[in-house]
Amino acid sequence: MRTKLRDSDVVNYIGNLAFGKANDAVKLVFLDPERCELIDGLDLSMVSEVKRGSNGAVEVKLLNRIALLELLAQLTSPQDRNASQAENFFSAMDKVAAKFRGGEE
């Protein structure tokens, strides 16, 4: 059964990504192909793309930390919380108005 994802869980995860280490991504680049069983133990949450060329070269792209920090700032800014509260207020007002239009009180 899936549990509902809370806003705070999302903010915490984005924060962990924004401030996380990329050490295991570097380990992945230098990992011998014969020891690929070690990949399961690596934290590759910072990796967005991996390419291996025909010549054996490995290219690893990491998540954009600046974009993650900008997103984190947007999610945690007081303006967003106030906007959310305003949305909730107007949504509640719309529901009340709909009840009055429909004859319900």
In a domain? residue 19 = yes
In a domain? residue 93 = no
C-alpha span between 61 and 71 (Å, rounded) = 19
pLDDT score of 105 = 45
Over residues 86-104, the pLDDT tens digits come to 677 677 777 767 766 665 4
In a domain? residue 31 = yes
Task: Please state, in angstroms and as integers, the Cα–Cα distance from residue 44 to each residue in 3, 8, 10, 25, 105, following that order.
Answer: 24, 22, 18, 6, 55
- The partner residues of 58 in beta bridges, in order of sequence, read 52
pLDDT score of 1 = 55
C-alpha span between 103 and 9 (Å, rounded) = 41
Number of domains in the chain: 1
pLDDT score of 43 = 93
In a domain? residue 100 = no
Q: Which structural domain, as residue segments, surrounds residue 12?
A: 7-77
Total-model pTM: 0.62
